[in-house]
A and B are shown apart, each in its own frame.
Chain A
């Protein structure tokens, strides 16, 4: 097995194009996460068309970068402005924003950054250790078991997302029906085609996904003129200096919290439909219950920043375990990755890790790599974002491409 890992690692790490794409993806994910209203799912969906021309491993590595970057990109806007960029950073704002307000922005941002990094690392290690074992488990599945697993995935999605179960079930059934339109998988009989050849081919996965998610999200963002004309991020006062060493020391000192939150994140990622948005709140709750200084939570406690940030990065590993080992998407982002694999004619299933070990281990190594990239880019990004915020009316950073896009889109 080790030679496979080495081979996969070489194909990912030694190829400069792949490295460059991963770096670009992580940067794009950070930007997507930092903008409130722009969810990680949308970021991953929007990178999908770019990956058509790439090889499968490059495409997946880019999407991993966007995923990892987006999970923690929300912490920046959450801490600096109080509005979380993505739902997976909601709990980070509970303690991050007060800490920034109390005059310690560098420490807060550093804590968020490094706890995300360590959470991602722990999750990646467990992913590599656990996924092949789970894949062996999946080989025992017959079609009965697989069907029951899909029924379970749908029902737990319904019960976890939204408070109206009947409406959730109706939505799930509508989705199942939309998948029925077209030709039958087994016999090739035309179903619900109403005489049109186009409908007879069925609805491709990507247009449905982009339409349901991105289209509707963007239209609800511009639905009234007030929301439409609002700037993307509010302005902050001063540039911040991230205090790395102090943050790392604090994170390592609270290692029990770190491990517990990472495990909560991994477990939530494994459950279908539960993703970063649930895991960070769960981890925050558990950290609060287990902490000795309970009343400091909400005013800038160190534990209150470590827990949610570690959990939301660990969710990526858990979601990947389900997708790689069993072929069942854990949340929307892994559903998009599944779609990307299907576009490249690779069908993930229980035998995915056996059949395509290079690709599977390549994805795991990409996850590791992107976490490292994230650590590097986030500190750079925080500096530029805060500087950009201060001078957003001046043609400041033309030498810095992120600032250019930022200026172009944000000055209205």
Chain B
């Protein structure tokens, strides 16, 4: 095992150098390697960091383009796709709370249907019939589940 690890460590150094022929790259690899090791030890997940490094420049570029194109900051919320993804981001932020909530609480019963209803809203803003149909289905299904679960709660 340690044989494999040692040889692969050296191979990483060679391979990284082969990219740009700069020794600085190996130093960068070493620095991030130390950081990655301590992040693993201290309980920080590594996947968000990788995604941040990959998507960071893209995010800034798009933000700059968006602000440069028009001064209206509300466009982030009024454009249908942007609103859809921001709402999905909110749903995913609340998702761990949903997973940890007890099965009987109101929050965990209503989370999925209400998020379905909320997510159908941006789909209504889009101009195509197929998406209107999907939005209508989501809204009706969400509403049905909310009704069923709160009605059951009121009945008991």
Contact = CB atoms under 8 A, between A and B. Distances in A.
Answer whether A and B are interacting partners. Answer: yes
Interface in B13-38: 14-16, 18-20, 22, 24-26, 28-33, 35-37
Contact of B15 (A46, A208, A228): A46
- Which range contains the number of A residues in contact with the other chain? 35 or more
A156 B56 contact: no
Given A46-B12, A148-B85, A172-B49, A219 B66 contact: no
B144 interface: no
A165 interface: yes
Contacts of A343: 19
Interface stretch (A116-124, A178-186, A247-255, A389-397): A178-186
Given A150-B62, A167-B43, A231-B1, A212 B9 contact: no
Contact of A157 (B4, B43, B47, B96): B47
B137 interface: no
B51 interface: yes
B75 to A, nearest CB: 5
A347 B62 CA distance: 14
Given A185-B64, A207-B26, A171 B8 contact: no
A163 B96 contact: yes
A146 B58 contact: yes
A402 interface: no
Contacts of B36: 211-213, 215-216
Given A171-B46, A211-B33, A205 B20 contact: no
B5 to A, nearest CB: 4
Nearest to A214: B12
A408 B14 CA distance: 21
Contacts of B30: 211, 215
Residue of A46, A169, A204 with most chain B CB atoms under a 10 A cut-off: A204
A159 B92 contact: yes
Contact of B47 (A164, A219, A273, A412): A273
Interface stretch (A1-9, A13-21, A296-304, A331-339): A331-339
Interface stretch (A75-83, A136-144, A354-362, A373-381): A136-144
Interface residues of B, number: 72
Interface string B53-80: 1111111111111100100000110010
A203 interface: yes
Nearest to A145: B81
Contacts of B46: 171, 212-213, 216
Interface in A171-221: 171-180, 185-186, 198, 203-221
Interface of A: 35, 37-38, 46, 48-50, 52, 140-165, 167-180, 185-186, 198, 203-222, 227-232, 272-273, 327-329, 331-332, 335, 338-339, 343, 408-409, 412
